[in-house]
Structure 1
Amino acid sequence: MAMCSHYESVTAPARLKKAFGVEMPPGVRADVWPGYTSLFIRRPKAWESGDDAVPGHEAMAGVFGMIPHWAKDEKAARRTYNARSETVAEKPSFRDAWRLARHCIIPAEAIYEPDWRTGKAVATRISRQDGQPMGIAGLWTGWKSPDGTVIRSMTMLTVNADTHPLMRNYHKPDDEKRMVVILPPAQYDDWLDAPPDQSMDFMRQFSADLMVASAV
């Protein structure tokens, strides 16, 4: 079942800084598919030290698609770009990051989904109606490649969208409808700080009234 496999990252440094308060890392692609490098936002590891010099957020370059620590190579990212909220705690690719509450926010200008209502797949761009970037709830992890390089990666969390006025229109007619978890900006810090036993509280649909869709 396909979910969100294609999105447009935030790549304008000033826009990223204004919306998320972080500096743009190098190597970020605008047009993102599984296995491509984009960015995610997390709490810095030294955040809990109480040092006022440590910023509250940091943007990291990361591969779109989770590469679990036990993966043999980076190809795992092609299948792990979305994590179903209903099964994320059990799936081997995601359960460690979920248990450790490795929460992140994935900045996106838009996501792309196929509209099959005409019988053919029509690529559709979905964004926030107010023109602001989306902050998508995700998980991140680190993977040590055979040459010792640490590669960070991320996945977008998804929820059922069978009843969502907008997102129920996408994907094939017989498929379960899904949507990524788009966080209200007021919840960004709450999500980054949430302990594992509160993570499910954020797995909610984003209001259709706040979204806009247009055929590409």
Structure 2
Amino acid sequence: MMASLFSSFDPSTSTMISLNWLSSFIGIILIPSAFWVIPSRTSFFWNKILNTLHKEFKILMASEKMKGSTVFFVSLFSFIIFNNFLGLFPYIFTSTSHLSLTLALALPLWLSFMVYGWINNTIHMLAHLVPQGTPPALMPFMVCIETISNVIRPGTLAVRLTANMIAGHLLLTLLGNTGASLSTYFISILIITQIALLTLESAVSIIQAYVFTVLSTLYSSEVN
């Protein structure tokens, strides 16, 4: 029996052994096999999306030092969107609704950017702490504000993805649990509402994967 509603998002709720995290690795196992099959309309469509993302990330970086880095960010987008969509299927664990995964993605990215920036472009990183045109009297305060906003970046990345994933799933769970006590008329309304929410969650899954990746790309472009 669940202790609370949020325990439905616990990886070890359904089984004594926490095997639900294996859903995060299904894509890593299955996606490479797609390169060995005959190209289909789906694969052409997905390659079109990846090429579009590659061109956009290349513009955002706008640095000769970052050649080839778009492959990493496109792969990050693919991994996040796959796990977001996988969580929409019944009885499949949504790994991106946990801070343990999202923070594990955001924190090493931010830390590597900071280490690279402060070692190779120290003056550039110091200049970022004081926006252009800041009055001398406000410079100490601006340094504190910019430092705090920089430090909380991995947290905001992780919490944004987790909160958006868990909010829609929580609403779907709440509405689904009321179905047993409703009449036939209200159940039909509930089904329509659930389908509409599922469509919205599909859009949120795409948007949040895109936002996470674009913000990571922008953070990387700031250190050059």
Q: Pick the TM interval, shorter chain.
A: under 0.3
Structure with bigger helix share is: 2
Q: Which has the higher contact order (CA 8 A, sep 6+)?
A: 2
Larger Rg: 2
TM-score, L = length of structure 2: 0.26
TM-score, L = length of structure 1: 0.27
